[in-house]
Amino acid sequence: MESKEMDYQLAIEKVYSQISCAENIGEVATYIPELGCVDPAKFGVSLTTLKNESFGIGDCQEKISIQSIAKVLSLTLAYNIKGQELWKRVGVEPSGTPFNSLVQLEYDQGIPRNPLINAGAIVICDILLSNLKDPEHELISFVREVSQVNEISYNKSIARSEKSVGYRNRALINLMKSFGNIKNDINQVLDFYFILCSIEMTCQELSRTFLYLASDGVDPISGKKILSLSRSKRINAIMQTCGFYDEAGEFSFRVGLPGKSGVGGGIMAVHPERFCIAVWSPKLNKKGNSYKGMKFLEQFTTETGLSVF
């Protein structure tokens, strides 16, 4: 299918209709109390092209907790600050284990396998705390700049909710601290991490925000350079191989796009030189990824023939 304006909307509507009628399997992420309050029937899709053409359907204008999708933004910010030094403290390999696994972290002596699992994102937060004068303000300002939406912020209730049950994340950070891979106070790092994960956007805002990864690191609408070409390529590669935890291979196999999921039920995926697409459906499969979101993107890339492979 050619990338004509109406083709995207027709493809989205066709696949949305098919997936909407299918069984909605999975569970909402009730282990974070605030996320457990979300209506499990919600379903939204938004696609934004490099020409700033926007196509959407369903609940694509409703604010969602983007959760781990935000790890791509913190990685972008830290990569710009530290450059290649970043990879001395976090790896770039797929984990092959759940996103909050302690086993691999112990084996690797406190160096997380990649920056998109919890341990890796916590290290990134530690790096940002060490290098930003006002981390919370500068993070939110960066997100607003990239998204071009000045109202974007984080949900304080969700941040508090995550903190109240963040036992596994505390175990991860204490283990990394014991190996010397956390430099700041662990409570400050975790508070910053919970803020990061509690950022809220709509699907439409998400699909607009990550266009720079579809355009060689340059925001195609504002013309602003967010990342170098080389760094943009590398972040896309990390998303392709690590963006879906221990289901990253399955996502590459079935969808064929670099992307990132979050336990709020959102998924963001990028087609270089074409578009960014965001899908939201709160029910998660056993791997912690949106069940309907994964199904939609698989069917969408099949229907349109648009993947990187």
pLDDT (0 to 100) of residue 40: 96
Tokens of 111: 């160096």
Is domain 5-65+201-304 in CATH 3.90.1300.10, yes or no?
A: no
Within 10 angstroms of residue 170's Cβ, the number of other Cβ atoms is 13
Q: Which residue has the tokens 């604010």?
A: 63
pLDDT (0 to 100) of residue 3: 42
Alpha-carbon gap, residue 14 to 308, rounded angstroms: 22
**Measuring CA to CA, how many Å separate 304 from each of 12, 55, 200, 300?**
10, 15, 29, 6
The whole-angstrom distance between residue 302's C-alpha and the CA centroid of its chain comes to 22
pTM equals 0.96
150 burial type by CB count under 10 A (0-12 exposed, 13-18 middle, 19+ buried): exposed
Q: Is residue 212 a contact partner of residue 226, using CB atoms and an 8 Å limit?
A: yes
pLDDT (0 to 100) of residue 4: 46
Tokens of 65: 């907790």
Query: Which residue numbers in the chain have pLDDT < 70?
Result: 1-6
Alpha-carbon gap, residue 235 to 262, rounded angstroms: 17
| Chain length of the chain | 309
Alpha-carbon gap, residue 37 to 29, rounded angstroms: 9
Same topology, domains 5-65+201-304 and 68-197? Answer is yes
Alpha-carbon gap, residue 27 to 47, rounded angstroms: 25
Tokens of 124: 């990134």
Task: Report the C-alpha dihedral over residues 49, 55, 58, 64, rounded to 10 degrees.
Answer: 30
Domain boundaries, the chain: 5-65+201-304, 68-197
Hey, what amino acid is at 305? G
196 burial type by CB count under 10 A (0-12 exposed, 13-18 middle, 19+ buried): buried
Tokens of 139: 């993070």
Tokens of 308: 């990187």
The CATH class given to the 68-197 domain equals: alpha beta
